[in-house]
Amino acid sequence: METKTQIIKKTIKKFASVALKYSASEELPVKVDETTVISTKEAHVIQAIGDNKNIGVTELGNFFAISKSAASQMVSKLESKGFIKKMRSQDNNKEINLILTELGKKAYTAHEQTHKKDNEFLLNKLSAFSLSQIATVSVMLESIEEIMDERLKKRMDE
Amino acid sequence: METKTQIIKKTIKKFASVALKYSASEELPVKVDETTVISTKEAHVIQAIGDNKNIGVTELGNFFAISKSAASQMVSKLESKGFIKKMRSQDNNKEINLILTELGKKAYTAHEQTHKKDNEFLLNKLSAFSLSQIATVSVMLESIEEIMDERLKKRMDE
DNA sequence: ACTTTATAGTTAAGCGGCTTTACTATTTTT
DNA sequence: AAAAATAGTAAAGCCGCTTAACTATAAAGT
């Protein structure tokens, strides 16, 4: 017979493995068209630029919690690949405003679409559960999140 | 008023963010002792070697679904850092048997301990839920997992 | 006003973890 | 014994990041 503790442990394990699979699936490259594939990181930066008109390099770095140097490198790469354009800000002469090119918009949409498809798939599957069941999951996820936050925080300053 | 669909969508989002946090926390380095820190990848390889006595390089590569070349590189690094030892197999002369050194065992334990601590923390928190609530979560996780598996599989051969 | 300081961005070097390609050395198959 | 498979290594290179050093512009301090 299984104790409650055992069941919880099993569930924790399940969560761990599903979470890792989710993040793995999040790492998969995105197909823009027959000849163009972008990495997830590229897709995310394109998304951020699409969602935040006129964002700059430093801002972008903060957004993803990476150094502005890393952001600059990413931006240069995306520009050389033709996904984005660096526009001098009209307010001042040191900032840059990033915007998507047509190709960039296409990439944005492609990335959006895959997420949309996945979410519909999931939505469909989860519709089988009752409202209260979903609520339970939600609450439990928040508990787990709390712990993750502590984990991340604690280990940071060890 | 929130529709069920909206609630599910919210829950999916929550899952996504928690899953990413989980995998981020899984990337944190592991402290072995006052002077030694290892990366998560290193910790996982050490764990695999500790758990699979006499595992070889190619096997290790398969285990983590990386090339045997990558496995070889990792193994060499861990050996030069003194965590593992490469022993010629006694059955034949081309295979290698990997074993943990004392330091390696220490690293194994350190890694194990952090997981144990985290799990106890989680176990504690989740004990507040009823058995049937936990069961629901479990079932739902399996649904999500199924979809992840399809996601991963489908995108692989596109 | 003009010098100091802050802010935005870039560049160079390097690291971790991976891939592919090419290679050596043992086994196994035929 | 020759051919093919298997185990491992090495070299080169890619991706995404870091830190450090740098330039250029803008804002503040006195």
pLDDT 10s per residue in chain B (158 long)?
678 999 999 999 999 999 988 888 888 899 999 999 999 999 999 999 999 989 999 999 999 999 999 999 999 999 999 999 999 998 899 999 999 999 999 999 999 998 898 888 889 888 989 998 898 889 889 988 888 888 777 655 55
Q: Which residue has the higher pLDDT, B42 or A24?
A: B42
pLDDT of residue B59: 97
Q: Residue A17 phi/psi, 5° resolution?
A: -70, -40
> What backbone phi and psi angles, to 5 degrees, belong to B62?
-60, -45
pLDDT, residue B157, reads 52
Protein-proximal nucleotides of chain D (any atom < 7 Å from a CB): 6-11, 15-21, 24-27
pLDDT value of position A52:
95
From the CB of residue B128, how many other CB atoms can be counted at a distance below 10 Å?
Answer: 10
Identify the residue with better confidence: B140 or A104: A104
- Contact criterion met (CB < 8 Å) for B141 and A8: no
Residue A18 forms contact with B (CB below 8 Å): yes
Return residues 126-155 of B near A (CB < 8 Å).
126-129, 131, 133-138, 140-152, 155
Q: Has residue A15 got a pLDDT over 80?
A: yes
pLDDT value of position B91: 87
Contact, A66 CB vs strand D, < 7 Å: yes
Residue A27: closest C-alpha in chain B:
B152
Instruction: Supply φ then ψ for residue B3, to 5 degrees.
Output: -80, 165
Residue A50 has pLDDT above 90, yes or no: yes
Out of B14, B123, B156, whose CB is closest to A8? B123
| CA B145 – CA A99 distance, rounded (Å) | 36
Residue of B nearest to A115 (CA): B151
Contact B16, A22 (CB under 8 A): yes
- How far are the Cα atoms of A44, A81, B32, B38, B116 from residue B35, in angstroms, in the given order? 37, 43, 8, 10, 22
Q: What is the pLDDT of residue B125?
A: 85
The set of long-range contacts for A52-57, using a CB threshold of 8 Å and a minimum separation of 24, is A53/A99, A54/A87, A54/A89, A54/A97, A54/A98, A54/A99, A55/A97, A55/A98, A56/A89, A56/A95, A56/A96, A56/A97, A56/A98, A57/A96, A57/A98
Q: What is the pLDDT of residue A156?
A: 52
Identify the residue with better confidence: A96 or B136.
Answer: A96
Residue A74 has pLDDT above 80, yes or no: yes
pLDDT in tens, A108-157: 999 999 889 888 888 988 898 999 889 888 988 998 888 888 877 765 55
Nearest CA-CA distance, residue B91 and chain A, Å = 35
Asked whether strand D has any atom less than 7 Å from the CB of A39, the reply is: yes
| From A20-24, A75-79, B98-102, the region with the lowest mean pLDDT | A20-24
Average pLDDT of the segment spanning A63-83: 97
